[in-house]
Each structure stands twice: as C-alpha cells, then as structure tokens.
Structure 1
Amino acid sequence: MKASIEWDGEQRFRARSESGHEILMDGDRGKTGPSPMETVLMAAGSCSSVDVVGILEKARQAVTGCRVELSAKRAEGPPSVFTEIHMHFIVTGEDVGEHHVERAVRLSADKYCSVSIMLGHSVKVSHSSEVRATGP
C-alpha cells in the first residue's frame, strides 16, 4: 500500500491513495478539511463499520442503516496522541437481533478491524451498540 501527501498551501495537505482517491486535510484545527487526527478517528470508525455491516449481512440480518458515533480523548501535551476512543454503533433494520449486532461489533474489535486493533496497542478502545427498528 502506498500514499502521497502534498502541501496545498497554508496548513492544508492533499493526501492521495494508491487507489486514486484524495482527501484534503487541514492542520489548522480543521478549518478547510479534517485534521490528520480526525482522519485517524474517522478511519477507525469506517473500518469497524465495514466489518459490522458485512458480518450482519452474512448473518442475514435485514440491516437498513449503520452509524457509529466516535468520541476520543487526547493527551494534554505534545504529542497529543489519543488516550481513549469509544465507538457507539447504532444499527437500524427490521428484526435485527441485538445479539447479532453485539457479536459483529466484538468480532470487528477483536479480529477484523485493522485500524482499531492497531490503535488498541496504545489507546484504550471501547465499544457499545444499540439496535433501532425501522418503520413508521
């Protein structure tokens, strides 16, 4: 895997992935794009969400939505690394089993999500979930 980062003026940096995708990041408190640390947090949530949805689909759960709300704490001084990350999954669908969602979140956390597992070597990562029925 490869990527490149190019300075785009001020504190903006354009990140390009080997697959041809681009993200604009902003080191000036996220004025014009997410900061690099926000991008790391979003990557952890995205990676876990891919796993959770995939596992639920394989379990034949009628998932219509998946949202993960992330909260993180950072160290006081430089380097201001993450010290804690919490991921709260909200899964919607018809008759989605809560035990299926809990299992999917656990499998992502323990086995599949390379981003959060990597972060978990130095950050306290926790998870929670809830199921919401879709309908009128």
Structure 2
Amino acid sequence: MADKVTTVWKEKMIFESDNPSGFNFNLGVTEEENDPYKPLRPKAAMLSSLAACSGLDVVSVAEKMKTEFSDFNIEVSGELTEEHPKTYHTVTVDYHFYGKDLNEKKIKKAVDLSIEKYCGVMEMFRQFATVKTKIHYHSI
C-alpha cells in the first residue's frame, strides 16, 4: 500500500501539502509572527509524526488492556548534526501519563509494544538516529 501526497508552493517559503486523509496543512519557514499560513517546520513535523504514531499505538493498546489515564502527552526532542544536510542524530521521546491509580505495568507494556513492534515512524527514525525513550507517571 502506497501513500501519496502532493505539495504545492504557495509563496515565499511556504508550501501546502495534502494528506491521504483529505486534510491540507502548511509546511515551511516564516519570520512573521502573524503569518496566516502558520507553517510547520518540516523537521519539527517529523518529530510530531513520531509522537502521533506512537501515541496512537499506546492509546489503542491501553484501551484493549482496559487501562485508563486521565491525560497523556508525548514530548519529543531532536538534536541535529552540525553539518549539512542537518539530520537528527539523537531523538528523545518522553511519555507523560496523568491519572489516579495509574497501572504502571500495563502502561509500560502499551508503550513498549509501540516502541518495539508497532510504530513504523519510530522504526524509520532508528535508521538514522539514536532514539531514547522514558515514561513519566504523574499522580493527580
């Protein structure tokens, strides 16, 4: 199965890309705070894709295991090489779970399954970067 997107130059340093889901978004670089395009920087969008891919896995697996949390977020940071083309050499993924009586064992299993088996974006990152992960539990 192949995905296909079309990316169109809008103006200056802004591109609009479609998505197989049917939604468009902007990518690029802007110096203007109120730029109407509000573009995502391409490399940062890769980090967001990693977080979303893994997050989808974690939520799906947690639901199947009947594991609950009241909130969940993922922080991803990437360190770039100094030379061009600048690529991520190290990526850190921090999973944050919030809730009362969190089942840490089941949550860890859901995260591990995403990291080790299901998240294709994470596997792609491993082809060019060291990927570090950590789980944080926050009782509320």
TM-score > 0.5 by shorter chain:
yes
Secondary structure at 1:46 match in 2: helix
Q: Measured at CA, do residues 105 and 29 of structure 1 come closer, stay the same or move farther in structure 2, by a change above 3 Å?
A: farther
The correspondence for 2:51, drawn from 37, 45, 55, is: 45
Partner of 2:83: 77
* TM-score, scaled relative to structure 2: 0.88
1:77 partner letter: E
Matched, 1:132 2:138: yes
Distance 2:32 2:64 in 1: 37
- The residue correspondences of 1:1-136 to structure 2 (distance < 5 A) are 1-28=3-30, 32-134=38-140
Consecutive unaligned residues of structure 1, counting only runs of 5 or more, are none
Q: Measured at CA, do residues 26 and 104 of structure 1 come closer, stay the same or move farther in structure 2, by a change above 3 Å?
A: same
Between stretches 34-43 and 88-97, larger displacement belongs to: 88-97
1:13 partner letter: F
Distance 1:50 1:94 in 2: 22
1:8 partner letter: K
The CA deviation at 1:51 is: 0.8
1:11 partner letter: M
The structure where strand makes up a greater share of residues is: 1
2:52 partner letter: S
Consecutive unaligned residues of structure 2, counting only runs of 5 or more, are none
| Paired residues, number | 134
Query: Cα RMSD (Å) of the superposition?
Result: 1.7
